């Protein structure tokens, strides 16, 4: 029997995902939570085979969530299952230690395939991620989408800036110095060709359309 944890703050998504999981794995024990602190408690008290992890959850910590889960269960398989931009974020979450990245917009067939693949092989990547792995961070990719030029930390800082966080708040959340935040902010502005957070918001929205 497989033991699975769903970390997702929308109950209807948890219900639908669990339905598909049970279609692939008739015998499965599952736990659910809608926030990250509760998720860590479950991970610390239950042996798990697979974790479905949404990124945009209450008290979520971005890329740091992968590391915190792994400190409690190093060998657990982690599937990021989210509606965040797959082209921008997938590679970064895989580098952070996730075993797979699956978009919520995926078809039921693809979700079934992903579950079977990640439990059998310990890894799943979509066709889009396969293309990213094949072509890497090429000049052509950076030209078509400058967001691809951002590092993992720069993306974390950018997301917090877009949430309206100040330098001191970002430094506390990411456990870095205020001067480091300022440096990352400067790099982000240079790479995206903007001068203010308002321009950054407009540029990112345009690139993600």
Query: What is the model's pLDDT at position 25?
Result: 85
Task: Lay out the sheet containing 50-53: strands in order across.
Answer: 28-33, 2-7, 50-53, 77-82, 100-103
CB 7 within 8 A of CB 13: no
Confidence of residue 209 (pLDDT cuts 50, 70, 90): low
Confidence of residue 173 (pLDDT cuts 50, 70, 90): confident
Instruction: Report, as an integer, the average pLDDT of 84-99.
Output: 86
Query: What is the model's pLDDT at position 144?
Result: 61
For the full predicted model, state whether its pTM sits above 0.85.
no
Residue whose tokens read 């999981």:
21
Query: Highest mean pLDDT range out of 57-61, 85-89, 167-171?
Result: 167-171
Instruction: Report, as an integer, the average pLDDT of 170-179.
Output: 89
List the one residue out of 21, 150, 37, 45 whose CA is nearest residue 89.
Answer: 150
Query: What is the model's pLDDT at position 136?
Result: 57
Q: What string of H, E and C letters represents the secondary structure of 108-163?
A: HHHHHHHHHHHHHHCCECCHHHHHHHHHCCCHHHHHHCHHHHCCHHHHHHHHHHHC
For residue range 1-56, list pLDDT tens digits in order. Answer: 899 999 998 999 899 999 998 888 888 999 999 999 999 999 999 999 999 999 88
Domains belonging to the chain, first-starting first, are 2-135 (3.40.50.2300), 140-208 (1.10.10.10)
What is the C-alpha to C-alpha distance for residues 45 and 117, in angstroms, rounded to an integer? 26
Return phi, psi of residue 10, to 5°: -110, 115
Collect all residues with Cβ–Cβ distance below 8 Å to 74 and sequence separation of at least 6: none
Query: What is the model's pLDDT at position 86?
Result: 81
List the one residue out of 3, 5, 25, 154 whose CA is nearest residue 81.
Answer: 5
* Residue 140 confidence (pLDDT) above 60: no
Confidence of residue 143 (pLDDT cuts 50, 70, 90): low
Query: What is the model's pLDDT at position 46?
Result: 94
CB 77 within 8 A of CB 119: yes
């Amino acid at each position: 029997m497989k033991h699975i944890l769903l970390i997702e703050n929308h109950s209807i998504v948890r219900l639908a995902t669990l339905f598909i999981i049970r279609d692939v794995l008739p015998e499965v024990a599952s736990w659910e939570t809608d926030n990250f602190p509760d998720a860590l408690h479950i991970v610390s008290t239950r042996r798990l085979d697979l974790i479905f992890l949404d990124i945009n959850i209450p008290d979520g910590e971005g890329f740091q969530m992968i590391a915190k889960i792994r400190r409690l269960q190093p060998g657990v398989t982690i599937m990021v299952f989210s509606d965040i931009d797959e082209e921008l974020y997938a590679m970064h979450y895989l580098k952070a230690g996730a075993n797979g990245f699956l978009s919520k917009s995926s078809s039921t067939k693809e979700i079934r395939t992903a579950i079977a693949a990640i439990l059998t092989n310990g890894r799943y990547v979509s066709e889009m991620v396969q293309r990213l792995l094949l072509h890497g961070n090429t000049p052509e990719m950076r030209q078509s989408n400058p967001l691809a030029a951002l590092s993992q930390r720069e993306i974390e800082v950018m997301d917090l800036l877009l949430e309206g966080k100040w330098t001191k708040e970002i430094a506390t959340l990411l456990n870095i110095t205020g001067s480091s935040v300022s440096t990352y902010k400067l790099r982000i502005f240079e790479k995206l060709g903007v001068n203010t957070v308002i321009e950054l918001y407009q540029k990112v929205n345009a690139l993600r359309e």
